Amino acid sequence: MKEPGYDAYIGWSKKYGPMYTFWLGETPVICLTDYNLINETFVKDGDAYVGRIKAPMFMKLIRSPYGVVWTEGSLWKEQRRFALQVLRNFGLGKNIMQERILVEVSSLIEQINNDINAGVLVHDILTPIGIGVGSLINNLVFGYRFEGKKLQEYHELKPLLGQFVRGFGSPWTLLIQKWYQYAKYIPFCRYYYYLMKDATDTLHEFYMRQINAHIEKFDPHDESEPTDYVEAFLKEKAKREAEGDTNNYFIIPQLLGMCYDFWLAGQETTTNTLAWGVLYLMIEPEVQARLQKEFDMVIGSDRLITVEDKHNLHYASAVVNLSIVPEKPPSLYRKAGASVSPHPYVCHIEKRYCNFRDIIS
Residue 58 has pLDDT above 60, yes or no: yes
- Is pLDDT larger for residue 359 or for residue 185? 185
Does any domain span residue 14? no
Could you tell me what percent of the chain has a pLDDT over 70?
A: 87
How far apart (Å, rounded) are the C-alpha atoms in residues 163 and 200?
9
Residue 79 has pLDDT above 80, yes or no: yes
Do 197 and 167 form a contact (C-beta atoms < 8 A)? Answer: no
**Consecutive H or E run containing 160:** helix 151-168
How far apart (Å, rounded) are the C-alpha atoms in residues 76 and 69?
8
pLDDT band at 185 (very low <50, low <70, confident <90, very high): confident
Write the CATH number for 110. 1.10.630.10
Does any domain span residue 309? no
Residue 73 has pLDDT above 60, yes or no: yes
How far apart (Å, rounded) are the C-alpha atoms in residues 298 and 329?
32
pLDDT band at 1 (very low <50, low <70, confident <90, very high): very low
3-state secondary structure of 27: strand
Q: What is the mean pLDDT of residues 63-78?
A: 83
pLDDT digits (tens, 9 = 90+) for 120-145: 888 888 888 999 999 999 999 999 99
Q: Would you state the pLDDT for residue 358?
A: 52
Q: What is the mean pLDDT of residues 51-73?
A: 77
Does any domain span residue 95? yes
Q: Would you state the pLDDT for residue 353?
A: 54
Closest CA to 97 of 158, 139, 134, 69: 139
Residue 29 has pLDDT above 90, yes or no: no
Residue 12 has pLDDT above 70, yes or no: yes
pTM of this structure: 0.82
Integer distance in angstroms from the first to the last C-alpha of the chain? 31
pLDDT digits (tens, 9 = 90+) for 242-258: 888 877 899 999 999 99
Residue 182 has pLDDT above 90, yes or no: no
Q: Would you state the pLDDT for residue 52?
A: 72
Does any domain span residue 321? no
Residue 266 has pLDDT above 90, yes or no: no
How many CA atoms lie less than 13 Å away from 80 in the CB half-sphere?
A: 11
Does any domain span residue 160? yes
Do 296 and 303 form a contact (C-beta atoms < 8 A)? Answer: no
Does any domain span residue 231? yes
Does any domain span residue 312? no
Residue 63 has pLDDT above 50, yes or no: yes
Burial profile 241-265: b = 16 or more Cβ within 10 angstroms, e = fewer: eeeeeeeebbebebbbbbbbbbbbb
Q: What is the mean pLDDT of residues 265-269?
A: 81
Does any domain span residue 191? yes
How many domains would you assign to the chain? 1
Residue 336 has pLDDT above 80, yes or no: no
Do 28 and 150 form a contact (C-beta atoms < 8 A)? Answer: no
Q: How many helices (H) and strands (E) does the chain have?
A: 17, 5
Residue 356 has pLDDT above 50, yes or no: no
Residue 263 has pLDDT above 50, yes or no: yes
In which domain, by residue range, is 269 found?
Answer: 65-283
Helix axes 229-242, 73-89, angle to 10 degrees: 120
pLDDT band at 346 (very low <50, low <70, confident <90, very high): low
